[in-house]
Structure 1
Amino acid sequence: MIESSTAQPKGPAGRGAPVNARGAPLNRRGLETRARVIRTAIAMLAAGGDGCEASANLVAKRAGVTWGTVQHQFGGVDGLWAAVLEELAGQGDMLPWKDMDDGSVAERMSRIVDALWSGLDSTPGRAVAALRSLLPRDTAEFTEAYPRTAEQLALWDRRWRRAYARAFRGLVVDAYRLERVRHLLPAAVRGLYLEQHLSTWADIDDARAVLAESIAGYLEPRP
């Protein structure tokens, strides 16, 4: 599910050979610095959660580099966040879709809800959620101000679309309803995930089960 991207220009060696913002190959020290900055950013984002106080300047400070180094390496904040998203994607699938395309609609939907939940509770899931909270809410403003970051998030969305479609292979399911559910699922699961961290009388495990069962009932063919 990992795709190539333009989040960071690549050198002659192709993907996996990052270069600096001007397209020059990085030496060993440069590669180590780049990796440290990205690693620091991910740790800060994953630890902070939504509304975290991570910023590109603070990441640079925690990583022990100057803002000039960040600009030299990534071209600025947009390049940094794009590189972070690319690195997170390269750590493996956020959603473990193995054996997802087997069983009834209800069984598959239960696995999808569980997989989304696990993804939200992972380091990539927490880091991406925190990063999204730092970015402009308006899509047009976000795309204009952070084009490389927006491109990386679009890649994440395309991976989700493909994984979701694969999960229902071999079943007769209404395509229109299936597409509507694709938009609902991440937000619904995320809402329950956030609810568990608040003072609540809700049984979150029951709520997850009802969510999966209700959606499966919506998707299953009518007689």
Structure 2
Amino acid sequence: MAAREKLLSTALEMLGTGRPETVSINMVAKEAGLSWGSVQNLFGDSDGFWSSVIELIIEAGPELWAAPESATVQGRVAEVAELYRSVLASPYGVAIETVRAGLPRPLDVLAESHPRTSASLARLDELWAEAFLHFFATLDGPPVDADRASDVAALLPSALRGLRADQQFGTTVDIDRAHRTLVTALTTYLEG
């Protein structure tokens, strides 16, 4: 395997564990059997490296999405919520959250030190929102209001990340019940 691919696949594997210390290029390089000098030669700097990791996840994006099956708004909301939930739990989703947590934040602060990485994360968020809107574009019957769909596209990933965090850190909240309530509330909002 070429050095570039080895570094990127090693980074994805390590980040997919969710361990915060894996947001270390030196650790990734060492695990890949390479050096920081290899990273510099291949990616320029840490910004180039993390941006490349995110771009690799973006390229994998289509395989993470399923085609909608339901013909109702409620069915589509339930499908997309379950899809988001499974993506967040996937190695790709965990890798993105690990990068977000390990690099400077919020996004405008990250943009100062890692402009390419920040742009890649912003692009990923835009692609998720577009994929969400597309999920509802093929719905039979009256179209879903575009502004309301955009609102839900912005809210749903954050809400599901919050439920996932509650589940990981331990809570007395019934996560499945909260998930169903979220689907019901968002369906009601989309249906007007």
TM-score by length of 2: 0.89
1:43 maps to which of 13, 38, 49: 13
Say yes or no: does 1:110 pair with 2:78: yes
Aligned residues: 189
Structure 1 unaligned regions, length at least 5 = 1-30
Say yes or no: does 1:74 pair with 2:43: yes
SS at match of 1:78: helix
Q: Is the 8 A contact 1:106 1:216 kept in 2?
A: yes
Larger Rg: 1
2:88 maps to which of 97, 120, 127: 120
SS at match of 1:64: coil
Say yes or no: does 1:184 pair with 2:152: no
2:144 maps to which of 173, 182, 192: 173
Report the counterpart of residue 54 of structure 2 in structure 1: 85
Q: Is the 8 A contact 1:94 1:119 kept in 2?
A: no
Per-residue displacement from partner, 1:111-152 (whole Å, max 9, x unpaired)?
A: 111000010111110101101111211332211211221222
SS at match of 2:183: helix
CA distance in 2, matches of 1:164, 1:131: 23
Report the counterpart of residue 54 of structure 1 in structure 2: 23
CA distance in 2, matches of 1:60, 1:152: 21
**Structure 2 residue identity aligned to 1:89:** I
Say yes or no: does 1:155 pair with 2:123: yes
Identity %: 37
Say yes or no: does 1:218 pair with 2:189: yes
Q: Is the 8 A contact 1:97 1:163 kept in 2?
A: no
SS at match of 2:168: coil
Per-residue displacement from partner, 1:58-88 (whole Å, max 9, x unpaired)?
A: 1112212121111001101111111111222
TM-score by length of 1: 0.78
Structure 2 unaligned regions, length at least 5 = none
Task: Supply the RMSD in Å over aligned alpha carbons.
Answer: 1.8
TM-aligned CA deviation for residue 95 of structure 1: 4.1
